């Protein structure tokens, strides 16, 4: 156990994990566990309470402190209730980590094929949820005169991506994070955004395998082949370690930053 987040209170939105046979860990679960290892008290939030509780159980087994909370990120009152649950339990919110997103499983498609229902669903899950979470966490952080917000976007925001919903929402997250950083700097609040590249997580690999009815190994191999660094995807732990730095006092003078965690994919030119 470390102390980089000692006595910090962190909300991890999307702390559960997609079901599946893989031993891979998702970004949200890895971040919740790592934050707790570094001394934070963690409110693990997920639409499915059992998924959030599974993350909490892993934290408790290691001697950390955490609680599970169920919330549908598309419902404003649930996001308000999430922040209230955190302050009722621990009195403050030091870190807000927004880690939710859908694409193909939400019906994402090329711009000429996307349905209104699918586009609205992806916007509500990926983007509106972040707005709701920040809407209710920011007043607490402003009163404290401190806080760190970490939003998980995607390399899809700055690179080619075949489907319109994920591309549009993850791009919007970047500029919204920068806006939040500027507008809240006077309160001592920092806001940064992480752009994961190809990651070996249940959401990224297993959901695609299910959606396209293909073996997981094939999907994983295709994704590995696009990564310059060692020809291997990253993991949820890679995203979690980047988030840990941005949440910690080590990043105390860093705000409005866009941080790729992509194994060098963004270095390609042409």
Q: Supply the pLDDT for residue 229.
A: 95
Q: Supply the pLDDT for residue 201.
A: 84
Q: Supply the pLDDT for residue 213.
A: 84
Q: Supply the pLDDT for residue 217.
A: 87
Model confidence at 20, pLDDT cuts 50, 70, 90, reads low
- Which of 31-35, 46-50, 157-161 shows the lowest mean pLDDT across its residues? 157-161
Share above pLDDT 70 across residues of the chain, in percent, rounded to a whole number: 97
Q: 3-class SS at 234?
A: strand
Pair of tokens at residue 96:
């807000």
Q: Supply the pLDDT for residue 269.
A: 60
On the question of pLDDT at 112 being above 70, the answer is yes
Q: Supply the pLDDT for residue 114.
A: 97
Q: Supply the pLDDT for residue 206.
A: 75
Closest CA to 45 of 9, 77, 83, 1: 83
Average the pLDDT over 234-248 and give the result: 97
Q: Supply the pLDDT for residue 178.
A: 98
Average the pLDDT over 4-32 and give the result: 89
Q: Supply the pLDDT for residue 21.
A: 60
Q: Supply the pLDDT for residue 95.
A: 98
Model pTM greater than 0.85?
Answer: yes
Which one is predicted more confidently, 94 or 203?
94
On the question of pLDDT at 270 being above 60, the answer is no
Share above pLDDT 90 across residues of the chain, in percent, rounded to a whole number: 85
Strands (E) in 105-248, as ranges, are: 147-152, 189-196
- Which of 72-86, 93-107, 153-167, 210-224 shows the lowest mean pLDDT across its residues? 210-224
Q: Which domains does the chain have, with CATH numbers?
A: 9-198+236-259 (3.40.50.720)
Model confidence at 136, pLDDT cuts 50, 70, 90, reads very high
Query: pLDDT tens digits, residue range 158-214?
Result: 998 999 999 999 999 999 999 999 999 999 999 999 999 999 988 778 777 777 788
Cβ(98)–Cβ(150) below 8 Å:
yes
Contacts 24+ apart (CB under 8 A), 54-62: 54/16, 54/17, 55/15, 55/16, 55/17, 55/28, 55/29, 56/32, 58/29, 58/33, 59/32, 59/33, 62/1, 62/33, 62/36, 62/37
Of 136, 161, 166, 187, the active-site residue reads 166
Model confidence at 216, pLDDT cuts 50, 70, 90, reads confident
166 in catalytic set: yes
Q: Supply the pLDDT for residue 144.
A: 98
What region does 3 belong to: left with phi over 0, alpha with psi -120 to 50, or beta? alpha
């Amino acid at each position: 156990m470390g102390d980089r987040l000692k006595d910090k209170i962190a909300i991890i939105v999307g702390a559960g994990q997609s079901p599946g046979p893989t031993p891979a860990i998702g970004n949200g679960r890895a971040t919740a566990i790592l934050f707790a290892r570094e001394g934070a008290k963690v409110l693990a939030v997920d639409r499915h309470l059992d998924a959030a509780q599974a993350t909490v159980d892993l934290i408790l087994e290691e001697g950390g402190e955490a609680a599970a909370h169920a919330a549908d990120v598309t419902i404003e009152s649930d996001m308000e209730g999430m922040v209230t649950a955190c302050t009722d339990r621990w009195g403050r919110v030091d870190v807000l980590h927004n880690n939710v997103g859908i694409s193909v499983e939400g019906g994402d498609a090329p711009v000429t094929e996307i349905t209104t229902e699918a586009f609205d669903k992806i916007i509500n899950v990926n983007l509106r949820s972040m707005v709701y979470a920040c809407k209710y966490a920011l007043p607490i952080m402003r009163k404290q005169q401190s806080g760190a917000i970490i939003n998980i976007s995607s390399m899809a925001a700055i690179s080619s991506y075949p489907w319109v919903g994920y591309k549009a929402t993850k791009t919007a997250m970047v500029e919204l994070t920068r806006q939040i950083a500027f507008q809240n700097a006077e309160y001592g609040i920092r806001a940064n955004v992480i752009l994961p590249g190809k990651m070996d997580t249940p959401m990224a690999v297993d959901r695609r395998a299910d959606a396209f009815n293909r073996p997981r190994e094939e999907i994983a191999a295709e994704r590995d082949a696009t990564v310059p660094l060692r020809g291997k995807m990253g993991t949820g732990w890679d995203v979690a370690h980047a988030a840990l730095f941005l949440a910690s006092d080590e990043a105390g003078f860093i705000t409005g930053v866009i941080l790729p965690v992509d194994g060098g994919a963004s270095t390609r030119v042409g």
